[in-house]
Structure formats: structure tokens, C-alpha cells
Amino acid sequence: MAKDAILDGVFAINKPVGVSSAQVIRDCQTQFNPSAFFAPMISHEKEKRMAEGSKAFNRRSRNKKELRVKMGHGGTLDPLASGVLILGVGSGTKSLQSFLDCTKTYETVVVFGASTDTYDRVGRILTRRDYSHITKNMVLEAMESFRGRIKQVPPLYSALKMEGKPLYEYAREGKPIPREIPTREVEVQSLELVDWYDPGSHRHFWPTEEADDVERQFAEKVWKQQETSKSMTPEEEKEEAEALAAHEAVKRKFESDVDGLVKDRPPSKRQKKANKPQPKADSSAGPMMSGALGQTPSVDNSKKGSNLIPPTDPDASAPWDGPGPPAAKIRMTVTSGFYVRSFCHDLGAKVNSAAMMAELCRSRQGDFEVGGPTCMEYSDVEKGEDVWAPKVAAMLAHWAQRGNAPADAAPLVVDPVQVASEAVADEAKASNGHEPASVRPPPDAETVPQSVEPEAAVQTSAANGAGAATLEVPTKKEDDEVSWNGFQD
């Protein structure tokens, strides 16, 4: 590899629990921006801008501190979840769209006996049900009904809208929803019970906070409706697709402005005025529901997307008397649009009890897999350029070579010093190694690729040369990403 080569493409990182997807990008950029590895990319863009004329360059300079390596991710991974987060760098961000329609493999831990408003362990308790009758064989039998193509109802407090209003707003206001929540068709390609935890043998506890009476009543009404829920009509499918697109547009705006919050120098007088602290949010307004958009975090915290999930207290007392409920670790491979939270909740109902998601790991997305040669450990990023640079180089080299291969090509044989892996060919039909054919997301796409690309960013197009660098600059805006589960980033 030439010393001054400009490298871009797609790779994956193993995101830990408690860190948002946008925070992973910020942490990567903290290492990538000043590195020798990405210096050719930065230098190339500087030269290009200066060649445009000093007036245009100086005008841009007023809106930036420094050029930054452009990055994005191929689908938000919730702070509660760990696992594969696909990242694009430079012109590789153009390929992120192609990862929407690929299959994903998840491992989740389901704990029985209670349900929450967010269908997971960080929500508030809605119901408690008897669990003394639940056995391993009963759960295995119930799992059979989730195989293949199934109808699934989105989580109670998802960001989906009905008549232009998110479901969680109906719940917060104590208003009935206009009609029952329609089901969505998804596919479970494989489903297996990995581990069974007998009562008293695990520490997957329920949360201790309780939902209020209004929320409980709302949930009971919705669940009764779901017993006779119907599939979406074409009109409802269109409405849901538009609602999802609108919600994702808001998420993209939050993420596109994210680097305006991370300053390397004191802000200007104008920025200080714009960044004037706002009154603190009233905590009595209620909890952050799944899919809700919360308050903008403080602008002076570059780690605002970290530590979003409270750690498990090893000394905490169990929230039940006796040995408690059983739990199960389940692995599944599913298509786009599948809600793991809904699966956990519905599995509890199938065994005549209740359940919630306690843990979630996305172990595979497309051909990117935790522990594989194209998925780097998050901890490697902070170990410095000597550690991450060879790994990123190998992963980007793999991306470039698989991109030039036909979709049905055999596994590539790559220089072992760089990388040794199978071709990643199913998720992006690349024509030149960097820009795959456009892939339209299905109406039930669960996320869209997020590109941390402020409005002031300047991209070099493919017309300027294969592998041309695309970088970003920070803006003055204060918005930020909020995850699908409503956690502030």
C-alpha cells in the first residue's frame, strides 16, 4: 500500500452496551482525524478546497475548526444492544444504504414474569404474571409458532405513528388510539434456544420502577386489541412507511449535526450566544419511551453518548421472593423490520405469563460478524493508531477487493498480512468497489443508514476519481442523535 494512498470503504465494529451508535463514530473520529493513516485523505481535501479559490476556502473556514474524516453507520444499534455496527468511511458512506435489506442474527436473553413499557429491562413495570408453571419444554414448544413468515405487532411505545401521532404520545396523554395497531409481516429464518436459566440461577432482574395507572390502562387496551389484530391495508402500509421515513429523517438530522457539539477550541461569541444553556428538563414529564426524542444533551460533553445504560449492580437484591423466574438465551436470524423486543414480549404471552428483553447482541449483519476479520473490537480504537490502523487497513482492503468481485463470486484469497476472509457480496452489488447499485429500503425497514455529515460538509464525487476522499466539517448546530429506544446520545 502506497504511503500516501487514500483509503475508504466499509468495516464493522463490535459496539459495547451503553454506547450509542453516534458515540462510536465520535470516538473513531477522535482517533482517525489526527492520524497518519488518514492524513492523505485530509490533505487531499485541503488541496482540493484551496484549488477552488481562497475566497471559497476562507468562507468555509469560518464554519469549521478542522477537516474531519467523514463517517456514517449502516443502521442504528440501540444503546442496550452490543454487537455489529457497520461503519462507512470516506466514499464508503455511499454504500451504507445497501445494508438495509440484509438479514441479521441476534442473541437475546428473555426473562419471564413481567413486562415493561419499553419491552426491555430499562423500562417501567406494566404487568406481573405468574411464572411458576414455565418450563424449558414449554418455551421450546412456544418458539415453534415464531418460525418462518409471521405477523408481528410493533412494540407498544415504538415511534410508529397513527394519524400523524406517535403511539407513545397517545400513551403519555392517556388517550385511546384511533384504531388497533396493524401487524407487519416479517420472517424468522432460524430460531434456537441457546441456554436455559432455571429459577435462582441467573441475575437477569426486572426493573424496580413502576408505570403509572394511565399507562397500565393504555397497555391493557392495546393488548386486547392485538388479540384480534389484522394485517395492514395498502393505505396503512403507506401511512406507516411515511411515518417511519419522517421519524428517520429526524434521526438523520440529529446525527448529521452531531459533530457541532464536539469542539476542539473555545466557541465564538456567536456560538456562545447560540449555545446559551436552556432550562433543565422537567423530570416529572414522564420517562423516555421507546422511539421518543428527548432533550438535547449538554454541548460540552463529547462523551454524551456513553454510559446510557445503568450497569447491573452485583449487590442488588432480587425484585421477587424466592428463586424467581426462569430466563432463556435465544438466537435468531431475521429479516429487516423485525422487533426483538416484540418477540420477547410475545413469547411471554405464549407461555401464559409475561416477559421482557434483558440483553441483546447483534452478532451478525450481512457478512459482518462479531469476531470475524472485518469486525474490529471497540476497545482497539482507544489503544492508538499502532493497534487500530493495521486492522482498519486490512478491513478496507477486504472491502475494496470484494467490491470488485461479482455478487456470486467465490471467497476471495487476500494477502494474509492484510486480511483473510470470504467475500462480502450479498449486501451490496458494487460496481467499482466503493459505490454499489442503489438498494431501496423496504417499507418495514427498521433503520436507515446514518451519515454523520453536517450541512457544511463537502463531498468529492466519484467523478473526481475512484476512491476520492469525502470528508466532513463540524457545524454550529446543537442537535444530536437520540436512539431508537429514546435514550439521549
Residue closest to 12 by CA, chosen among 489, 366, 390, 453: 366
The reply to whether 42 and 122 lie within a common domain is no
The reply to whether 109 and 203 lie within a common domain is yes
Which of 355, 380, 414 marks a domain boundary?
A: 414
Please indicate, yes or no, if residue 163 is contained in any of the structural domains. Answer: yes
DSSP per residue, 200-235: TS---PPPSPBPPHHHHHHHHHHHHHHTT--BPPHH
Residue predicted with more confidence, 11 or 234:
11
Give the model's pLDDT for residue 13.
98
The reply to whether 135 and 225 lie within a common domain is yes
* pLDDT tens-place string over residues 337-347: 899 999 999 99
Q: Is pLDDT at 34 greater than 90 in this prediction?
A: yes
pLDDT over 70, % of the chain: 60
Candidate list 4, 8, 27, 78, residue with the active-site label:
78
The reply to whether 211 and 332 lie within a common domain is yes
The reply to whether 129 and 72 lie within a common domain is no
Give the model's pLDDT for residue 223.
73
Residue predicted with more confidence, 59 or 301:
59
Give the model's pLDDT for residue 176.
74
* pLDDT tens-place string over residues 71-90: 999 988 889 999 999 999 99
Q: Is pLDDT at 467 greater than 60 in this prediction?
A: no
Residue predicted with more confidence, 311 or 261:
311
Give the model's pLDDT for residue 145.
96
Q: Is pLDDT at 413 greater than 80 in this prediction?
A: no
Q: For the chain, first and last CA: distance in Å?
A: 37
Global model pTM greater than 0.75: no
Give the model's pLDDT for residue 355.
98
The reply to whether 346 and 396 lie within a common domain is no
As to burial, measured by CB atoms within 10 angstroms (0-12 exposed, 13-18 middle, 19+ buried), residue 167 is buried
The reply to whether 356 and 377 lie within a common domain is no
Average pLDDT over residues 374-401: 95
Q: Is pLDDT at 53 greater than 50 in this prediction?
A: yes
Please indicate, yes or no, if residue 336 is contained in any of the structural domains. Answer: yes
The band of 229, judged by pLDDT with boundaries at 50, 70 and 90, is low
The reply to whether 64 and 139 lie within a common domain is no
Distances (CA, A) of 301 to 251, 399, 484: 20, 34, 21
The reply to whether 69 and 15 lie within a common domain is yes
Domain count, the chain: 2
- The DSSP symbol for 430 reads B
Give the model's pLDDT for residue 15.
97
Alpha-carbon span 261 to 478, nearest angstrom: 6
Query: In the predicted model, what is the mean pLDDT of the chain?
Result: 72
Please indicate, yes or no, if residue 482 is contained in any of the structural domains. Answer: no
**Range with lowest mean pLDDT among 121-125, 152-156, 435-439, 442-446:** 435-439
Average pLDDT over residues 452-465: 33
Give the model's pLDDT for residue 273.
52
Q: What range does the domain containing 210 cover?
A: 103-231+322-365
Residue closest to 399 by CA, chosen among 371, 421, 369: 421
Identify the three-state secondary structure at position 429: coil
Residue predicted with more confidence, 292 or 258:
258
The reply to whether 349 and 377 lie within a common domain is no
- DSSP E strand boundaries for 387-434: none
Give the model's pLDDT for residue 6.
79
Please indicate, yes or no, if residue 328 is contained in any of the structural domains. Answer: yes
Please indicate, yes or no, if residue 244 is contained in any of the structural domains. Answer: no
Give the model's pLDDT for residue 436.
35
Q: Is pLDDT at 8 greater than 70 in this prediction?
A: yes
Q: Is pLDDT at 427 greater than 90 in this prediction?
A: no
Look up residue 455 and give its three cell numbers.
Answer: 450541512
State yes or no: is 212 an active-site residue.
no
Which of 414, 441, 472 marks a domain boundary?
A: 414
Please indicate, yes or no, if residue 400 is contained in any of the structural domains. Answer: yes
Q: Is pLDDT at 407 greater than 90 in this prediction?
A: no
Please indicate, yes or no, if residue 53 is contained in any of the structural domains. Answer: yes
Q: Of the segments 98-112, 151-165, 223-237, 255-269, which one has the largest average pLDDT value?
A: 98-112
What's 327's domain CATH number? 3.30.2350.10
The reply to whether 344 and 220 lie within a common domain is yes
H or E segment at 185?
Answer: strand 184-197
Please indicate, yes or no, if residue 200 is contained in any of the structural domains. Answer: yes
* pLDDT tens-place string over residues 361-375: 999 999 999 999 999
The reply to whether 114 and 31 lie within a common domain is no
